[in-house]
Structure 1
């Protein structure tokens, strides 16, 4: 069975592709670039917030005369993991472009 519209897909769900292909908007590179830039900005903002939160916890722990609580140490460690994951994702996204 041939698609009724040139460029439309003969896939089981052609309506998922049809409008974009019909109007020649296949990949829409400018939209992809804008989305990538927005994602990069979002990740950078998240990274800044995570680092600021971790810094505040470390500075608070440094002010005390005793060892920080297990909960505070756990939170600092969890933030470190989130920071590493965010940095890795930023690097991965940068390599793709």
Structure 2
């Protein structure tokens, strides 16, 4: 973890994707992928636990959604809400002697 002394000189700002705001997008994307993969399944009702096949589909959908969002945020960050993160200028006090 990097930390600076208060009053460090800000050299500028860089735009980064605001990762905290991607949670709802990940849930929606996983739900859409799950829906597309299971649309042809026959509707069933069970009072017990979810079937093993269903659990595998949910896990796979979440994994695909995460990979897709990772790809999009690295290749096309302008599609997502960004935040400005400061970067600091090193001074003589910051370098080891």
Which structure has more strand as a fraction of its residues? 2
TM-score bucket of the superposed structures, by smaller chain: 0.3 to 0.5
Structure-1-length-normalised TM-score? 0.35
